[in-house]
Structure 1
Amino acid sequence: MKTLGFLVDEMLFQDFEKLHDFSKIFGLQPKDVKVFSFMEVKKKLPTLQQNQINNKDFNWKGEIQNQNAKEFLERDFDVLVGLYDGKHRFLDLLVSESKAKFKVGFKDADPRLYDLLIAVSTNDLPTFTAELKKYITLLNKV
């Protein structure tokens, strides 16, 4: 594995620095770990965060109107992790559009979208990290 991407629901998880720590765990360069987040409603305050999408960035046909999101989805990640609970119409669409080689989700995610579902809660990042490392090693992705 040389590149790792995360699609994150900001309602669930905001500490993106913990996700960048995955670079140390998997022996990657920090620049090779990318995080893209979804927020249901755009904040009124200006933000410098460019790797973010919200429900207004989708048209009525479900097409993505956010250039940064399109670029993220075009990246050929070795592993993409969907960090959100259950089925989520916007994040599920992003996962389905991703060019990632291997997609990993959490227990209640749509199994048609992922190559691997790990049966832990999204709140339990340490257990998820250990399980991900175990399966990525077993599947010869590292």
Structure 2
Amino acid sequence: MFKKLKQKSLQKQTEKNIRQRDISQINEPLKRLGFLVDESEFQDFEELYDFSAALGIQRKDVKVFSFLEYRKKLPTLQQNQIHNKDFSWNGEIHNLNAQEFLDEPLDVLIGFYKGSHEFLDLMVSASKAKFKVGVAKADPRLYDLIIEIQPQKVVEFREELKKYLQILNKI
């Protein structure tokens, strides 16, 4: 019962964030890039840094944040990670690193996970990013651009994204 209540609250919060989104700076050029990743689908974050270097973005201007369903018992040094327990039953995020990431004024945010994901969708909707890019089967209300390529095909995705960013005069 609590799981259903939490899901409904996450959806309501996502809807609220979508309605309140500021799109006034959507055409800003790409200087700062962010990735939201489902760690159960993709773990090679170094490949994402290489991805951004191919777009002409320095490593210091790239932020990667990941979601992992359950916190591992083993200690980890990874700070840019959020878990399902970091979301309250009413859709609030109780993770300072995640909140800091969402408040960051990124020029482009890439939701690097496939399909709909209630926790990551909430984070995308709450992000202050100016331009949002999703992958195959993503919720079109959350993103300004959706590229129909699976997240595992990083090279193909990068080439398509680069093409669209050039067309939009972002790079």
TM-score for the superposition, normalised by structure 1? 0.98
Counterpart secondary structure, 1:92:
helix
Contact 1:22 1:33 in 2 (8 A): no
Offset from partner CA, 1:75-101 (integer Å, 9 cap, x none): 011100001110000000000000000
Counterpart secondary structure, 2:70:
coil
1:65-104 matched pairs, under 5 angstroms: 65-104=94-133
Distance in 1 (alpha carbons) for counterparts of 2:58 and 2:155: 20
1:1-142 matched pairs, under 5 angstroms: 1-142=30-171
Contact 1:107 1:117 in 2 (8 A): yes
Q: CA deviation at 1:44?
A: 0.3
Distance in 1 (alpha carbons) for counterparts of 2:130 and 2:57: 17
- Identical-residue share of aligned pairs (%): 65
Unaligned runs of 5+ residues in structure 2 are 1-29
**For residue 163 of structure 2, what is the amino acid of its counterpart?**
K
Distance in 2 (alpha carbons) for counterparts of 1:47 and 1:34: 18
Contact 1:23 1:32 in 2 (8 A): no
Unaligned runs of 5+ residues in structure 1 are none
TM-score for the superposition, normalised by structure 2? 0.82
- Equivalenced residue count is 142
RMSD between aligned residues: 0.7
Q: Which structure dedicates a bigger proportion of its chain to helix?
A: 2
Relative contact order, higher structure (CA 8 A, sep 6+): 2
